Structure 1
């Protein structure tokens, strides 16, 4: 998934419900004449100051709820989009800066401690004069390594080395849980190596925006190579883009990559070598650090590796060297002189996403520290900004939503008892993680120096790479987190069968300690349900409670599930955020199922929490209205057009307005809460509404 002030709503809002017929208290809008809440009484948690009374919730719930914000909010110049997630993220930055600056000033800090590393890494980034003076000299050794490549036999070693220091290469190696044997780690290899967001940017040249992006990308490659001293930069750039286009042609699409069974291809090293005649995988795996530990490898896209091998064979050595030089410079441009920083932003910021200004250097510096020392920074963040009572209340919500999921599975009318039993067994094995890890990451082997920015970034990348690779052959680390505590997001891991909620998302409007339960169940409750829902979406449902890819469905139940999923694909494929670009219902299916089931289950959990008692009316809003409004306001967002294109091409999440409207339109309780009737724009006939879990 990855991202409040109380005010009084004017009486004119009541007019927005006129079409609802004989509105009762449950379908009325908030009233102005609402008695003030008693001191200490729960607040609604709804940003009613953003409600647009000119829009009927029965016609466009998202705009009704967020309309005044949409009309007045400006996307910051250094952002490609803006909304609840990004505002929380932006609000967290000064807090992290305070921690970093305190680390710099700490008189008791010792060499080798996390405090020293946090302060010195930030200092190395903020020393602009030194960075400017050095130019590309910190990369001289890496550039020489690439330029001295004598023949293509040296490619496996070069690719392994560049991967270790964080540079994109045509394929990537990683160690992760074996998807069919989750108690052990395995080595995976998969496609990569493009400099633009998706293969469509290379191949869909009948789309003028894709063609323009490709043209500007080639010019950008030439600019950066020229800054590095290359004399034939324009010709090299064209050849590089041609090579990347050859890779793009054989890459699997993002929809194809969503299939976990097709992406699991277990092979011996000799079988892997047969895919790429002439390419020395023994050398590649040895250089990558896994050669002596490997008894098999899991290939994500076998046909891509064959295509990659042909593209390499068809491309001259000089172009391949230019390609690797380009990707080295691309990765390290943010840490070089201003000319590189500005060129990098001009393409990846302005040309691709429409952003008009780069972020202030201090914010990029904070992000650099987070990227290298995320948990070291996060440990201090939670100590200062994450109270224990917030964690406890969140854990209670997780229990309640999980219990509601169990009840819901038992009442499904489309699933047989045999599959229900398997689903319950998986749900019972879910592991929730809230706030921060029980065991913090050890950074003792990472060296950070205050006078060596590029070296710091390289060593941090190598540290992360080696930390991953050395898992091979060891027991599974079930305490590990895939996000830092200061990340405004949440996730589900199918191999771990765990749901994880970092501390930073547990703030309003997602989670409000002052608010009545309704908004919290609608907001963070739906996020909890969403992450559980990933365990039962079209991908996650192919793994069992132990994290293994295993078909635990009857044929009939899988067909019934797929029929409902197909309906969601059709619904979301009809949505178009900008003319000519539609949401990809197949790409976004997993997230849409997560939203659909998450909201449905959170609503059931909310009802259970009331224990048969009526919900209070707060700000003229019933409990059910506050529940759905709590859900709708977390998707408050707006996006620059160029970034919107990037999202529909690459992001498995639907745009915010469709996550709000598309989700509530499928839930009967929303119709009752807001008096939605046939003829309203938010109306779907009962036969067209999708309920899966």
Structure 2
């Protein structure tokens, strides 16, 4: 999980592109033999009145009022780049997972899920063996690169490495067809860049990061045996290749605000005309995909440019590029020198992380990357009470009813568009806790001999698994997150809202809490994910998840005018000296926050209509509702991490999420008796209401 509630986009789906297998008899996990010692888990980040900074009025700064004391007392730990409610729950999830994997690794004659998880954990924690191996686990890959002789060798190399789950230069994945969401097609999307965004490759704003990246490339190549002179020369060539690719890549902002850029259906013949040196039929053959009638080739200009670079860039430069990215991509799993160099740039220099995570946390990250759903199956057996799912189903129902009422009464929408909006509302599919059907891991062979070997085996297996989906009907039981992930998402192609088990804890959800806390926490999250179906990109998909325009022109124009107001609001927030939030990049999340919190408050009021809840510790239900909303968004960042997120993250920095939406709501001003002119009270043309 990165920063918060996210819209599941095609970029995420394509990035998953790793895996699967010949069909064998399903392996059913053994009966649960694991248990968790709750005393060993970190504390929950629940809302507490004692945390309030009463020297600041909620009408001046809700975030400071609720979180100021906590933020001052809880700086970012050295092994992280941000710290807040999400991260605290992530630490709790990791501590739970650690107990699970340690128990699995210690089982004698373990089979199925327990063996898979135990093997990944045990080999990852065997530092002596990893250190002794050095670069040897990936030497065959480097030899393969050294054997490349001519431009024609590059497409063959890309075919082979993709089939092994080791993609470079571009990604390949399976996802629903935009025009027919019931069917899965192949999506090819640009990649190949080592810096966070195309904007890092030009201009003065990120010159320091470019120089540091070039130095990191050289240092990595020297660790693999290059001389100082050769490493410096190769680093310059690699940066030149990436700069050329960046010029024809989309920025994070472009992709976030125009999801159609992922979708460019072409036939194989049409694609081959764009890339005459790269034969797409052979590429699909190598990846085990029956040659499709069409697939999506996102950003044809990128692929045309790349195709021309096969011949125009010297082979020695391509070899340097492929060698570096092979080493760099696997560096965290190699000996200490490689892992440390990788962290020194990506963690410390780029994001301000002062120290690496403890090894056990890094290995758990790898277990989750390689076999996250397998670990999730064990996680829910010991960490997710059945009653939590039942109560969540009730909350989702209440939020859904509140949203329907709001849609029915929306004054600015014409009846024709409203009917389509309600049709979409009726088809929302909620998923809570964990999948109804677990993945079958039969065919993935792991052992206790090699950490990198296990990771590579999982990568190949997962890639085949994803490729096997292409050309088939969409499996609507699939999940895009694991149960142990502290997050939630909306998938427009399936019109579903998904809430993994690990987020269903305080401050989001507590079966014993008063209604206000649950509605201001997970209720707002539920509303947020539902409203993604109506944000500026989600609203481009219909009730079936297909990319279709269901808006009357006048409604579309009115919606655009309202969302432009929200862009302007967030453009005005200064996150760092001289650096403001990008209101366009963050628009979708801000629309979802504004609508989601509004609908959650509606649902709370319905819940309280037939019951009286007295003030708790001096605060009303509506005050506690808004205070828990702010608690969810308490978060400190390193300065470098925040700078990266301002360019790459479609979520606004946490404090602006805590304040931005409530400042538009009359109910917030009424709850805290704020007056016109108070900083947290937007009025007149500045006050924004959409859904």
Return the TM-score normalized by structure 1: 0.91
The equivalent residue for 1:138 is 137
Residue 2 and residue 80 in structure 1: after superposition, are their counterparts in 2 closer, same or farther (change >3 A)? closer
Q: Deviations over 1:142-166 (max 9, x none)?
A: 1111111121112222223333445
Partners of 2:318 and 2:198 in 1: how far apart?
19
SS across alignment from 2:296: strand
Shift of 1:2: 5.2
- Pick one of 596, 600, 603 that aligns with 1:602: 600
Matched, 1:342 2:306: no
Query: 1:352–1:642: 8 Å Cα contact kept in structure 2?
Result: yes
The equivalent residue for 1:523 is 521
Shift of 1:168: 5.0
Query: 1:510–1:523: 8 Å Cα contact kept in structure 2?
Result: yes
Shift of 1:462: 1.0
Partners of 1:296 and 1:201 in 2: how far apart?
33
Q: Deviations over 1:325-346 (max 9, x none)?
A: 1111111001111000110110
Partners of 1:217 and 1:514 in 2: how far apart?
50
Shift of 1:186: 0.5
SS across alignment from 2:175: strand
The equivalent residue for 1:198 is 197
The equivalent residue for 2:74 is 73
Matched, 1:377 2:375: yes
- Please give the residue correspondences for 1:441-456 in structure 2 after superposition, counting only pairs within 5 Å: 441-456=439-454
Shift of 1:48: 1.5
Tell me the C-alpha RMSD between the 2 structures. 1.5
The equivalent residue for 1:30 is none
SS across alignment from 2:575: coil
The equivalent residue for 1:84 is 85
Q: What 5-or-longer segments of structure 2 have no aligned partner?
A: 5-44
Query: 1:378–1:485: 8 Å Cα contact kept in structure 2?
Result: yes
Partners of 1:166 and 1:489 in 2: how far apart?
26
SS across alignment from 2:182: strand
Q: Deviations over 1:455-509 (max 9, x none)?
A: 1111111111110001122222111111000000000111111100000000001
Return the TM-score normalized by structure 2: 0.92
Q: Deviations over 1:74-98 (max 9, x none)?
A: 2111001100001110111121111
The equivalent residue for 1:333 is 331
Query: 1:157–1:287: 8 Å Cα contact kept in structure 2?
Result: no
- Please give the residue correspondences for 1:499-518 in structure 2 after superposition, counting only pairs within 5 Å: 499-518=497-516
Matched, 1:222 2:223: no
The equivalent residue for 1:117 is 116
The equivalent residue for 1:265 is 264
More off after superposition, 671-680 vs 494-503: 671-680
Shift of 1:280: 2.6
Q: Deviations over 1:492-537 (max 9, x none)?
A: 1111111000000000011112210111101100000000111110
Shift of 1:235: 0.6
Partners of 1:64 and 1:57 in 2: how far apart?
5
SS across alignment from 1:176: strand
Residue 193 and residue 674 in structure 1: after superposition, are their counterparts in 2 closer, same or farther (change >3 A)? same
SS across alignment from 1:182: coil
Q: Deviations over 1:206-253 (max 9, x none)?
A: 21xx11111111011111111111231111011001110111111112
Residue 161 and residue 677 in structure 1: after superposition, are their counterparts in 2 closer, same or farther (change >3 A)? farther
Query: 2:281–2:291: 8 Å Cα contact kept in structure 1?
Result: no
Partners of 2:347 and 2:375 in 1: how far apart?
26
Query: 1:529–1:602: 8 Å Cα contact kept in structure 2?
Result: yes
Shift of 1:104: 1.6
Shift of 1:59: 1.1
Matched, 1:481 2:479: yes
SS across alignment from 1:577: strand
The equivalent residue for 2:180 is 181
Query: 1:589–1:652: 8 Å Cα contact kept in structure 2?
Result: yes
The equivalent residue for 1:16 is none
The equivalent residue for 2:622 is 624
SS across alignment from 1:175: strand
SS across alignment from 1:481: coil
The equivalent residue for 1:51 is 52
Residue 615 and residue 294 in structure 1: after superposition, are their counterparts in 2 closer, same or farther (change >3 A)? same
Residue 2 and residue 435 in structure 1: after superposition, are their counterparts in 2 closer, same or farther (change >3 A)? farther
Partners of 1:520 and 1:664 in 2: how far apart?
17
Partners of 1:155 and 1:173 in 2: how far apart?
17
Matched, 1:299 2:294: no
Q: Deviations over 1:304-361 (max 9, x none)?
A: 2223233444311111111111111111001111000110110011001111110011
The equivalent residue for 1:22 is none
Partners of 1:629 and 1:347 in 2: how far apart?
38
Q: Deviations over 1:393-451 (max 9, x none)?
A: 01100010011111100010100111111011011111000000110111111111111
Shift of 1:612: 4.6
Q: Deviations over 1:538-579 (max 9, x none)?
A: 001000110100100100011111111111111111112101
Residue 278 and residue 104 in structure 1: after superposition, are their counterparts in 2 closer, same or farther (change >3 A)? closer
Residue 681 and residue 62 in structure 1: after superposition, are their counterparts in 2 closer, same or farther (change >3 A)? same
Partners of 1:437 and 1:46 in 2: how far apart?
29
Residue 674 and residue 437 in structure 1: after superposition, are their counterparts in 2 closer, same or farther (change >3 A)? same
Partners of 1:391 and 1:346 in 2: how far apart?
42
Partners of 1:264 and 1:367 in 2: how far apart?
31
The equivalent residue for 1:24 is none
Query: 2:285–2:291: 8 Å Cα contact kept in structure 1?
Result: no
Partners of 2:612 and 2:663 in 1: how far apart?
24
Partners of 2:424 and 2:239 in 1: how far apart?
46
Shift of 1:286: 2.5
The equivalent residue for 1:671 is 669
Partners of 2:196 and 2:261 in 1: how far apart?
23
Partners of 1:474 and 1:263 in 2: how far apart?
20
Shift of 1:282: 2.8
More off after superposition, 59-68 vs 271-280: 271-280
The equivalent residue for 1:322 is 320
Partners of 1:106 and 1:668 in 2: how far apart?
58
The equivalent residue for 2:634 is 636
Shift of 1:46: 3.1
Partners of 1:540 and 1:222 in 2: how far apart?
42
Partners of 1:493 and 1:486 in 2: how far apart?
19
Q: What 5-or-longer segments of structure 1 have no aligned partner?
A: 4-43
The equivalent residue for 1:278 is 277
The equivalent residue for 1:34 is none
Query: 1:568–1:589: 8 Å Cα contact kept in structure 2?
Result: yes
Residue 594 and residue 125 in structure 1: after superposition, are their counterparts in 2 closer, same or farther (change >3 A)? same
Query: 2:165–2:462: 8 Å Cα contact kept in structure 1?
Result: no
Partners of 2:302 and 2:571 in 1: how far apart?
27
Shift of 1:288: 3.0
